[in-house]
Amino acid sequence: MYVDTAYLFHGISAETREKILAAAIEESHSPGDYLFRQGELAGHFYILNEGRVRLSVGKGLLAYTASTPGDIMGWSSLAENPTYTASAECRTPVKVLKLEKHRLDQILTQDCASGMRFFKNLAALMGRRLVSSYQ
């Protein structure tokens, strides 16, 4: 599992990281499967363990390809968006960790310092993807 290497989890306490791992569900998906579709209720976020996932908006406009273990997807659920703002299509066989948004909120509320670090890391990741989308 790649929670330890995912930038999103840098600086989070070991105890909180363990709780997050315990709450995660490991899933496997086939090429062509969707983890989520734009407009669906945003209740989970995902950490890539292996494979390639194409994130697209609108009518298939490529927004990002997640292919590095530890890449995250579905952050709409973490940013209080009621629905996903992109679709995530598996392009190869994919393994992910799936985390339920409300359970993650409960865990991070119990460790405010780790919760603050988590959301600072999320903001940094969103900024990086935004900048890379301009290139």
pTM above the 0.85 mark?
A: yes
Q: In angstroms, rounded to a whole number, what is the distance separating the alpha carbons of residues 102 and 119?
A: 15
Sheet holding 94-100: strands in order across?
Answer: 25-29, 94-100, 44-50, 72-73
pLDDT of residue 4: 63
DSSP β-ladder status, 44-50 and 87-90: unpaired
pLDDT of residue 102: 95
Is there a contact between 64 and 133 (Cβ–Cβ < 8 Å)?
yes
| Backbone CA torsion sign across 72, 125, 63, 65 | negative
Q: How much is the average pLDDT of 25-51?
A: 96
